[in-house]
Structure 1
């Protein structure tokens, strides 16, 4: 691939919209869930898998189940996406605006799914 084309592809990727919103990791063996939110829904599953694969996830109960069941025992689901404004450019100020929406979105899904105790990997608040 020519250098100019690679540079164009890299630029387009860096300036493209990433899917943002809430997600959950579901243990298909026991039904427990882990709920989170992110500015990069496409990358967060890889981040979690990496941490779990190297046995360093911060959620110890999730880590224990991953060690027991492996990746095949889990699925990743997008719960809700944040739709960007039409003039979204993905610069620092745009991302800060969307980052502020994430805690409320995550709180909403924690309330709806109640992934606490036997139902999930979160500690009761």
Structure 2
């Protein structure tokens, strides 16, 4: 592949939106959930799996269940996606507007699913 074409493809990839939104990690054995939100849904699942595999996840209760049941005992679900308003990411301001949407989206799903106590890995605020 010619150098200019590779450069164009790399630029387009770097400036393309990733899937953004709210997600849930579900323990298939006991129904407990961890709810979160991110600008990169594919990447966040990989991050959680890596942190759980090396026993350095911030949620020790989830980590204990991961150790007990393994990756096969969990599923990753996209709860809601944020649809980008533009095709390409032009600058940091483009991403900042989506980043500001994440806390409200996550709170919406925390209220809806109530993943606290026996139902989840979150601590009630």
Q: Same fold (TM over 0.5)?
A: yes
Counterparts of 1:87 and 1:73 in 2: how far apart (Å)? 36
RMSD: 1.4
Q: Is the 8 A contact 2:29 2:73 kept in 1?
A: yes
Q: Report the equivalent of 2:9.
A: 9
Taking structure 2 as the reference length, the TM-score comes to 0.93
Aligned to 1:117: 117
Which has the higher mean CA deviation after the structures are superposed, 6-15 or 113-122? 6-15
| 5+ long unaligned stretches in structure 2 | none
3-state SS of 2:79 partner: strand
Quick one: distance in 2 between partners of 1:9 and 1:55?
36
Secondary structure of 1:35 counterpart: strand
Aligned-residue offset at 1:19: 0.9
TM-superposed deviation, 1:13: 1.1
Q: Deviations over 1:98-122 (max 9, x none)?
A: 1111000000000000000000000
Task: Tell me if structure 1 keeps the 8 A contact 2:48–2:57.
Answer: yes
Which segments of 5 or more consecutive residues in structure 1 lack a partner in the other structure? none
Q: Do 2:15 and 2:88's aligned partners in 1 also have CA atoms closer than 8 Å?
A: no
| CA deviation map 1:77-117 (0-9, x unaligned) | 00001111136525200111111110000000000000000
Shift in CA distance, 43/3, structure 1 to aligned 2, threshold 3 Å: same
TM-fit CA distance, 1:9: 2.4
Residue 55 of structure 1 is matched in structure 2 by 55
Counterpart residue number, 2:40: 40
- CA drift at 1:60: 0.6
